[in-house]
Amino acid sequence: MSLENTLTNYYNSWNEGFSSKDDAKIRSYMSERFVGIFGYSSIEKPEEYHYNYDIKAVLNQYNDQTRKEFEIISTMERRNGENYVIVGLETSYIDGTPHRAHCMYIWERENKEWKLLREFIEIEQ
């Protein structure tokens, strides 16, 4: 599967998760070495989280109409195509209101599958 298809499917798994409250499909796209960084303007230090973070708690914060979209701004191939940096803009629709975030994802091939190794998310606020 191409990385672009994987990224689309990853976002679809979040959208399905908002309805089902099941985190298994989302986590299946993540490397067990996953590290995430989440920040926004009103916090002094961004939050760090790892593969075992509580995705269900995140899903349960939102109603089943919540949706996420991702627009790729740039991609950079590394390690002969085994690793990519993808920079883009995520829009989450929460109660119909768009919330935007700038994202940088590191995707890497693991056992012939693309896995999310790292994510850096900075909310626009």
pLDDT digits (tens, 9 = 90+) for 81-114: 999 999 999 999 999 999 999 999 999 999 999 9
Q: What is the pLDDT of residue 107?
A: 98
Name the phi and psi angles at 64, rounded to 5: -75, -5
Alpha-carbon gap, residue 26 to 10, rounded angstroms: 6
Statement: residue 124 has pLDDT above 90: no
Decide: helix, strand or coil at residue 95: coil
- Report the alpha-carbon distance of residue 81 to residue 105 in Å, rounded: 15
pLDDT grade for 78, boundaries at 50, 70 and 90: very high
Domains of the chain, earliest start first: 3-123 (3.10.450.50)
The tens digit of pLDDT for each residue in 20-57 reads 999 999 999 999 999 999 998 788 889 999 999 999 99
21: left (phi over 0), alpha (psi -120 to 50) or beta: left
- What end-to-end distance do the CA atoms of the chain give, in Å? 35
- pTM value is 0.93
Mean pLDDT, the chain, integer: 95
Res. 1: pLDDT tops 80: no
